[in-house]
Copies of this chain bind each other. A is one copy, B any other.
Amino acid sequence: MMDHLVETNSVPSRLVEERLDEIRRVMGKADDDPLRIVGVGAGAWGSVFIAMLQENYGKFRGKVSVRIWRRGGRAIDKATAEHLFEVINSREELLRRLIRRCAYLKYVEARLGDRVLYADEILKDGFCLNMIETPLCPLKVVTNLQEAVWDADIVINGLPSTETFQVFNEISKYWKERVNAPVIISLAKGVEAEFEPHPRIVTPTQMIHRATGIPLENILYLGGPNIASEVYNKEYANARICGSEKWRKPLGKFLRQSHFIVWDNSDLITHEVMGGLKNVYAIGAGMVATLTKESATSKSVYFAHCTSEMIFITHLLAKEPEKLAGPLLADTYVTLLKGRNAWYGQKLAKGELSLEMGDSIKGKGMIQGVSAVKAFFELLNQSSLSLQHPEEGKPVTPAELCPILKMLYRILITREFSCEAILEALRDETMNDPRELIEIAHSHLFFQPWLLGQKP
Contact = CB atoms under 8 A, between A and B. Distances in A.
Interface of A: 2, 4, 6, 225-227, 230-231, 235-238, 240, 258-259, 261, 263, 265, 291-293, 295-301, 303-304, 307-308, 311, 322-323, 325-331, 333-334, 337-338, 420, 423, 426-427, 429, 431-435, 438
A259 B299 contact: no
Given A227-B296, A230-B297, A235-B297, 10 more contacts: A2-B295, A6-B427, A225-B297, A258-B427, A296-B338, A297-B334, A300-B330, A301-B327, A307-B325, A326-B434
A147 B423 CA distance: 43
B423 A292 contact: no
A404 to B, nearest CB: 13
Contacts of A338: 296
Q: Which of A4, A293, A322, A325 has the most CB of B within 10 A?
A: A325
A429 B333 contact: no
A240 B436 CA distance: 13
A433 B231 contact: no
B293 A237 contact: no
A326 B297 contact: no
Contacts of A322: 435
Contacts of A6: 427
A431 B237 CA distance: 12
A318 to B, nearest CB: 15
Q: Which of A237, A238, A337 has the most CB of B within 10 A?
A: A238
B323 A438 contact: yes
A268 B235 CA distance: 39
Given A323-B438, A329-B303, A337 B296 contact: yes
A229 to B, nearest CB: 9
A230 B432 CA distance: 22
B330 A225 contact: no
Contacts of A225: 296-297, 300-301, 304
A322 B227 CA distance: 32
A236 B240 CA distance: 35
A44 to B, nearest CB: 13
28 contacts: A2-B292, A2-B293, A2-B295, A225-B296, A225-B300, A225-B304, A227-B297, A231-B297, A235-B298, A236-B298, A237-B297, A237-B301, A258-B427, A258-B429, A261-B431, A265-B433, A299-B333, A299-B334, A301-B327, A301-B330, A303-B329, A304-B326, A304-B327, A304-B328, A304-B333, A307-B329, A325-B438, A326-B433
Nearest to A333: B300
Given A226-B297, A333-B303, A4 B323 contact: no
